[in-house]
Amino acid sequence: MPELSITGTLVNYFVLCRRKAWLAVHGLWMEQESEAVALGRLLDETTYADELQHVNVEVEGHEGLRLAGRIDWAELRDGVLHETKRSPSGLEAHRWQLRFYLWLLKLRGVTRPDGRPFEGQLNFPRQRRTEAVTLTADEEARLRTLVQELHQTAALPTPPPRLENRRFCKKCAYEELCFG
């Protein structure tokens, strides 16, 4: 298997469904036709256009794991990372994705001008709502194991089984690839 770069999107997928993460790692992306994803992309391109956008961060994590993040947009002076999402469904996965980015900055030693760590904010422009996300020491430890588990899953020779709860899969871009 080629050396894997773990990204925020993969962390997001992994929290939702291990199979989805495995498929994405192996080059099977299904989002090209999903209208929800197209809408999300448009939303990303058209909202918060004045801020510093799409910051790429790469870090060598523990045990040589390569971690990479593409941050939606950042307010550097105030030290806030933003992640724009179409809707709060899959909220837990969104939170972990953003915590992953906060973690990357911490590993890189990037802080606010006053030395405090960056904070995160999930933005739901369609719902006109935001949610603050921070990174506690416990969550940092959880991210470490999450990333390792993701790495192990990616190395499996075959995709992990489908989820038991198909209601959850109904909205997934991978539904037809898994169940069709």
Partner 1 sequence: MKRPYYIFSSGRLRRRQNTLFFEKAAGERIPDDQDETGEPSGTPSGERIPFPVEQIESLYFFGEVDLNSKLLTFLARHDIPAHFYDYYGNYTGTYIPRDHLHSGRLRIEQVLHYVRTKRRLYLARAIVEAATYNLLRVLRYYVNRLEGTRRETVSAAIATIEQERAQLRSAEKISELMGIEGRSRDAYYGVWPAILSDGPGEAFVFEKRERRPPSNEINALISFGNSLCYTTTLRQIHRTALDPTISYLHEPGARRFSLALDLSEIFKPILVDRAIFRLVKTGEVTPRHFEERLGGVYLKEAGRRIFVRYWDERLRQTVHHRRLERHVSYERLIRLECYKLIRHLLDPKNEPYQGLHMWW
- 108 contacts 47 by C-beta, under 8 angstroms: no
Q: What angle is formed at CA 55 by the lines to CA 102 and CA 5, rounded to 5 degrees?
A: 70
Of 109 and 180, the one with the shorter C-beta distance to partner 1 is: 180
Give the Cβ contact number of residue 176 at 10 Å.
11
For residue 136, the SS3 value is coil
Question: What is the x/- site pattern for partner 1, positions 140-169, by CB under 8 A?
Answer: ------------------xx-x--------
Binding map of partner 1 across residues 23-62, x = CB under 8 A, - = no contact: ---xxxx--xx-----------------------------
1-30: contacts with partner 1 (CB under 8 A):
2, 26-29
Number of H helices, E strands in the chain: 7, 6
Least spacing, CB of residue 81 vs partner 1, in Å: 29
**Contact flag: residue 175 with partner 1 (CB under 8 A):** yes
Shortest spacing between CB 5 and partner 1, in angstroms: 14
Q: Distances from the Cα of 159 to the Cαs of 14, 64, 99, 156, in angstroms?
A: 12, 24, 26, 7
Interface residues toward partner 1, by CB under 8 A:
2, 26-29, 32-33, 158-159, 161, 175-180
